Amino acid sequence: MSNPQTNPPPYTQPGYTPAQHYQPPPPPISSNTETVIIQTSHPMLVPVSSEPTRIVCPSCHAQVLTTVKHHATSRTHVWALILCLICCWPCVCVPYCMNSCQNANHYCPNCNAFIGSYRN
């Protein structure tokens, strides 16, 4: 059996003060507080055309000739609708076959990163 007199709990020892949880005071509230957002990387403006363009890829930093993929836009659909409405329905597919009626989206052939889009 242990004797309670020989091993008193630590909180009963003379000179012992229990630890207190310190919480720092809240920061002062100021009426003229500013929020500053620092942007470390900004998009580069890359001049592109409807044809493949030789550039330095902003993603992989290699000098490449971009891969161009043409995609139909709402303007392409509107031209097809106009052709249909003026009774030229056999020509409805023409805006979808012409690259000049579609956007040219440029991609890096190395990393497949989207570079930019050329709108006609």
Provide the number of structural domains found in the chain: 1
Q: Is residue 69 in a domain?
A: yes
Percent over 70 (pLDDT), the chain:
62
pLDDT at residue 44 in the model: 56
Q: Is residue 108 in a domain?
A: yes
Q: Is residue 85 in a domain?
A: yes
Q: Is residue 110 in a domain?
A: yes
Q: Which of 53, 54, 55, 57 is nearest to 104 (CA)?
A: 53
Q: Is residue 106 in a domain?
A: yes
pLDDT at residue 67 in the model: 92
Q: Are 50 and 101 in contact (CB under 8 A)?
A: no
pLDDT of residue 63 exceeding 80: yes
Percent over 90 (pLDDT), the chain:
12
Q: Is residue 42 in a domain?
A: no
Domain that holds residue 76: 50-120
Residues whose CB falls within 8 Å of the CB of residue 72, separated by 6 or more in sequence, listed in order: 95, 96, 101, 102
Q: Is residue 6 in a domain?
A: no
Q: Is residue 61 in a domain?
A: yes
Query: Strand 114-118 to strand 103-107: parallel, antiparallel, or no bridges (unpaired)?
Result: antiparallel
